[in-house]
Amino acid sequence: MTVKKGNNKTVVATFGAGCFWHVQAKFDKIKGVKNTYVGFMGGDLKNPTYEQTKTGQTGHAEVCHIEFDPEIVSYTDLLISFWQMHDPTSLNRQGLDFGNQYRSVIFYHTANQEKEAEKSLKEAQKNYKKPIVTQIVPASEFYKA
């Protein structure tokens, strides 16, 4: 099942930062975030299930797909929250969850989001001694969990 791409008052963003329930809980607390959906993105398998994705063989990451009102919260603010909610220096692992489905990833939906994500990564790197391993890649089909 796919989710709408936002409307004339909302914009979409998609982030992977470990278990999608954890990521969703964090974004749900941000004023201006209108809707959040958990699911999968970034792999080749169409309509993946949780059972398939948890094997790490689908290429999909667990993600939180967000609809937000840019007049209340900016994409830059969402990026700041993203960097703070997980360890972006940990490759394919967050806490006890490990595998490529738990990778740190920003799926950008526009060229402007790509530019902002790249800029925010450079800023965030100043806070870490180890290199950030977060992927910044084009959004693909989102599959709701």
By annotation, the residues acting in catalysis are 19
- φ, ψ of residue 119 in degrees (nearest 5): -65, -40
Say if residues 23 and 104 touch (Cβ distance below 8 Å).
no
**Helix, strand, coil % in the chain, rounded to nearest 5:** 30, 25, 45
CB-CB contact of 19 with 62 (8 Å): yes
- Considering only CA atoms, give the Rg of the chain: 14
For 8-51, give the secondary structure using H, E and C: CCCEEEEEEECCHHHHHHHHHCCCCEEEEEEEEECCCCCCCCHH
